[in-house]
Structure 1
């Protein structure tokens, strides 16, 4: 099978197209013939070495397709069923072995491309909005990178929940998308002071929650945008990891809360995974969340896809097609 592998960490140039044997599912595992693979920012962290990994490694943690074979003892799926998954490694390939308890069955009205575009990002938005820092109607929230893969889903879902969504973006084109997704206010962070504009919009109060997938470059701005006892949720490192935090800075910002969660602690069990995926599919089905595929590339163009993602040239989700 064709796969994209790294033998050392570094820039997009370390991504290599290789031929590997089709894996065999072991006990409790399924073999998925992949129809679409989701590209996520976390893939760049593994590739660069920001998140340490064992090498060599086939990158990628999200995909969808058809169960080709099952290993001994599998009861959750049968060959021929359609599945999606998010987590682990090995997605940048034509076939992927997944533990049966870490895959979900796709509803008939959800295509493999839709699942690969929305599952990981959608479940991230689900746990952030509904379980990590629950958002209620009438509350003001700030979403950085509001036109990005996770950001666009956060904006749509928070808007559907009745929140007043303020989005921060880097271009006029992305501002238009963020407004279409449900942002009541959009800030162009390259030419506007985000925190000052947030204070202006909220009458000086600040927002209750900041959802920050950018990291290092926006941390101080995020703190300065919060209202008293607000919550700063930093869930990504697009600009690099947040430096060590002075606890007194949280006090000075208004006795605010700071958390750095990961999706996989919120889908730790199969039951949590099923519930989160079901919520995502229902949000898509109801129209609250529209899945935007910004680009589709052949799997063998993974290097170019990484370059575009890190250059902020993408919007919505990017799919790699095996």
Structure 2
């Protein structure tokens, strides 16, 4: 049988129910995975709460994971049972077994463990999108990264430092500030009360070419104030709630700014783009440039506790769910 976490209605973490379903059968163009590790991301809480809608309910949350192919459906030619793969951006992850379109998975290198893949696929591909596609960060750029001690934030600090950029991180505690510094942030701001003033001081008045804001409603106006004329505001998360009612005139008032709300699936919709981005992420993991930090792990049936910790800002780095005994998670198939 298949242990899954499902929701039957939108709401708080208490709507996440542990259930047992039959093991699914892959349809044409699909593969079935026995999952070793599952990533937990803020987007999961958006789907659970109803901020983002599932096509129908009941539904299984979870957008990221890694495991072993146990079966393939018709018309799948380049994947086979026994292969280790990972995926990102496809709902249905909170399960011991799941089916998924074959063109949405990527083969895992032998030396990347499933837990590492579950900690980096969605986050790593997102960072690739943010630093290499949405705005191509250059050596010497000053950039602002909110939630710099989170799963995405730490990878952004690491990758941006590797590119020669100067990261100004924003975190909520002194402990998280130390973590951000240890992972490449040149400067760290604790709290969001005086961010624009501190950015002005740190840049000697130059301000920033780009701001990466995952907080949303609470920091939107502050983020605009941190940008240099013609700077780019990248709003890519809603941790404090969605940004609504934006007056485009405020972009002019702040210096002819640009505003974008990118979604990863747009950038990896083509399989060639997915494979290219994953190849870059895996290469940087192997070079030890990207060092996924798994701050906490939970058993699959404790998914609600993972959501509570995430929304309370009590997590650092990546959070993963383990559907099986963690001792069985390894870089090679069983």
Whether TM exceeds 0.5 here: the answer is yes
Paired residue secondary structure (1:184): strand
1:294 CA drift (Å): 0.5
Provide the C-alpha distance between the structure 2 equivalents of 1:224 and 1:185, rounded to a whole number of angstroms. 18
Query: What is aligned with 1:100?
Result: 102
Query: What is aligned with 1:62?
Result: 64
1:284 CA drift (Å): 1.0
1:27 CA drift (Å): 0.5
Query: What is aligned with 1:41?
Result: 42
1:286 CA drift (Å): 1.2
Query: What is aligned with 2:149?
Result: 147
Query: What is aligned with 2:73?
Result: 71
Query: What is aligned with 1:90?
Result: 92
Provide the C-alpha distance between the structure 1 equivalents of 2:90 and 2:168, rounded to a whole number of angstroms. 33
Paired residue secondary structure (2:164): coil
Query: What is aligned with 1:25?
Result: 26
Structure-to-structure mapping, 1:1-322, within 5 angstroms: 1-53=2-54, 54-189=56-191, 192-322=193-323
1:146 CA drift (Å): 0.4
Provide the C-alpha distance between the structure 2 equivalents of 1:87 and 1:135, rounded to a whole number of angstroms. 24
Q: Which runs of 5+ in 1 are unaligned?
A: none
Paired residue secondary structure (2:219): helix
Q: Over aligned residue pairs, what C-alpha RMSD do you find?
A: 0.8
Paired residue secondary structure (1:197): helix
Provide the C-alpha distance between the structure 1 equivalents of 2:305 and 2:13, rounded to a whole number of angstroms. 8
1:316 CA drift (Å): 0.4
Provide the C-alpha distance between the structure 1 equivalents of 2:37 and 2:210, rounded to a whole number of angstroms. 33
Q: Which runs of 4+ in 1 moved over 6 A?
A: none
Provide the C-alpha distance between the structure 2 equivalents of 1:251 and 1:19, rounded to a whole number of angstroms. 54
1:205 CA drift (Å): 1.4
Is the 2:89–2:264 Cα contact (8 Å) retained in structure 1? no
Provide the C-alpha distance between the structure 2 equivalents of 1:59 and 1:94, rounded to a whole number of angstroms. 13
Provide the C-alpha distance between the structure 2 equivalents of 1:181 and 1:227, rounded to a whole number of angstroms. 26
Provide the C-alpha distance between the structure 2 equivalents of 1:199 and 1:227, rounded to a whole number of angstroms. 10
Paired residue secondary structure (2:74): coil
Provide the C-alpha distance between the structure 2 equivalents of 1:144 and 1:309, rounded to a whole number of angstroms. 15
Paired residue secondary structure (1:217): coil
1:285 CA drift (Å): 1.1
Paired residue secondary structure (1:216): coil
Q: TM-score, normalised by structure 2?
A: 0.95
CA offset digits 1:6-56 (Å, max 9, x no partner): 000000000000001111001010000000000010000000000011210
Q: Which runs of 5+ in 2 are unaligned?
A: 324-334
CA offset digits 1:207-230 (Å, max 9, x no partner): 111001111111011000011111
